[in-house]
Amino acid sequence: MEIIKMHGLGNDFVFIDHFQGTPAEFPDYPELARRLCHRQFGVGGDGLIVVLPSAKADARMRILNSDGSEPEMCGNGIRCFARYIYDQGYVTKNPLQVETLAGILTLQLIITGDQVTGVRVDMGEPILKSEQVPVLIQGDPVVGAKLDVDGQEFEFTAVSMGNPHCVIFVEDYETLDFERIGPAIEKHPLFPRKTNVEFIIVNSPRELTMKVWERGAGPTLACGTGACASVVAAVLNGRTERKVTVHLPGGDLLIEWGEDNRVYMTGPAAYVFKGVLLEDALS
């Protein structure tokens, strides 16, 4: 089985291409994700992306976290996905459309010469109704709500970009016990489908710094949907303008919450390597 490794700002993914059809023996994708994404015994990655045909769009993306769970969407992953299917010749038009569990998304490829140098994604409208995020708090939107975690109280804003996010504004990261608080919030009873957790420092009305604990993956170098949710939360809290550069450990994303209520994300997608998966990796 051939595999491709790609990353978006260090958020890395193992790709399996089943666009031309899945094998006769249908793969157990969750188990495959757990094996391949293991950084010692597998290829290593934050998630597994499966390239599939679509009856509704140009292609369909399935993504599975390193723990085998399947999120609705991944902003960094879909940029890599768009570049891959374009480079493979599966789709030649620009913009193109990709089917995900969060719906069909439109992506504009930024092409310099004959090479894709970036991707602008129409991430759709943010979901702010508590029951749709979902978060077990009354009132819409959930802005500045109280959250008690291991005796500490936080204020958070709940946003869904097709997947749930809990955005918390902090002054610095020095006093944040990230490795303890991150997973505790991810699995907090207020979030029935668990949640991604973003800790945000506001640098200026046009800049944010973000640290993320991803649902099902833990700490990652970047999270595209998290960056989008954080800008929406920052605007709702009156902290930034609607077009913001988000600094992540792996690099920067440009996020714009347009006047049309849609969120646009622009960032890179890069290859790491191509290889062949040996039978030993599956045993």
Q: Which residues are annotated as a binding site for substrate?
A: 11, 65, 75-76, 163, 196, 214-215, 224-225
Q: Can you say which residues are annotated as belonging to the binding site?
A: 11, 65, 75-76, 163, 196, 214-215, 224-225
The contacts of residue 71 (CB under 8 Å, 6+ apart) are 63, 65, 101, 163, 215, 216
Closest CA to 118 of 229, 252, 234, 18: 252
- Catalytic one of 37, 74, 80, 166: 74
Token pair for 256? 């714009």
State the catalytic residue, choosing from 37, 80, 166, 223. 223
Q: Answer yes or no: are the C-beta atoms of 102 and 133 closer than 8 Å.
A: no
Q: How far apart are CA 144 and CA 58, in angstroms?
A: 39
Query: Rounded to an integer, what distance in angstroms lies between the CA atom of residue 207 and that of residue 197?
Result: 19
Residue 17 to residue 40: CA distance in whole angstroms: 23
74 catalytic? Reply is yes
Q: Is 228 a catalytic residue?
A: no
The answer to whether 11 touches 77, Cβ cutoff 8 Å, is: yes
Catalytic residues: 74, 223
